[in-house]
Amino acid sequence: MPSMTSSHSRSPVLVTGMHRSGTSWVGSMLCAGGDLINIGEPLNVLNRQTIFPKRVELWYAHITEENEAVFLPYYRDALAFKTHPLADLARMRLGSPRDPGRIARRWGDFFLGRIQRRRLLIKDPFAVFSIDWFVRRLGCGVVVVVRHPVAVVSSLKRLGFAFDFENLLRQPSLMDGRLRRFRPAIEASLESGDDVIGQGSLLWRIIYDSLEPPDVRIVRHEDLSLEPVTSCAELYAELGLEFTPEARAAIEASTSEKNPAEVSVRDPFKVRLASKTNLGNWERRLDRAEVERILEITGSVAARYYPEGLEALRPPA
């Protein structure tokens, strides 16, 4: 892949991929060097305090020229680290113990971003269908995180994260375009009820079989887990970031085998894990029939990213 270093030396960075693929960890590690300011997941339906004046309505929103008016001005303001104090305060929930801290933290981050001339990091799995827009309209360098479907679906099962495909069917720009060939499978999935295994597998296949990368860096979660310092150093170089001693220390601390082997169900977005041990957690979460079903649904797409099959998920002794 061509290096991003020259063409994206001061550009914003988008880290995306399916949810539960490791985008939060990758985004956090990229920020550890001090060059980037992370604005989290603006396209997360559940996020109240983001750069937007109101929450988005659909998971995996597809941004195009037709609907960009409700997104583009706020992303551009974020690129300039411009805050909207009145709008932020208007959205603050009365009595919320978290909203004031979130607002203050973002204001502080944006202040540092301006005076230190940092770059913006948009860590958002739900931007994966809009990669081309982020490249074309915001000039983003893009990192797509791929994680083996068995590992992703095992995490969805453990957390009980179902996916309603109506979020895709309600977007004609997707369903009449790049996702047209998936419509029969998507419509069939609506009849299966709360089927986390089937839904997660189908969504994984759709996302990673429909990528339209103009010039993106695809990284495997498993490679980062096995060699976190080396892999992250390479990613820093690709993105034109300085791999500082602070970055190395943060990555080592985040992936140490002294960390928990699994995240807590109550707080599934922690980024400190025993990274190598975490690779094998799927074997305790899934039975053989579930593994076979995941592989059957994801099929050749999984083989494209993981020619070695399940061996990618078996940490060395």
Could you give the domains of the chain? Answer: 13-308 (3.40.50)
66, with CB counted inside 10 A (0-12, 13-18, 19+), is: exposed
Spatial distance between the Cα atoms of 274 and 69, rounded to a whole number of angstroms: 42
157 pLDDT above the threshold of 80: yes
pLDDT of 263 over the 80 cut? no
Average pLDDT, the chain: 90
| Chain length of the chain | 317
What is the Rg, in whole angstroms, of the alpha carbon atoms belonging to the chain? 19
The span from the CA of 99 to the CA of 103, in Å, is 6
pLDDT value at position 31? 94
Confidence of residue 8 (pLDDT cuts 50, 70, 90): very low
pLDDT at 317: 66
pTM score above 0.75: yes
pLDDT of residue 258 exceeding 70: yes
Q: Residue 306's pLDDT is what?
A: 97
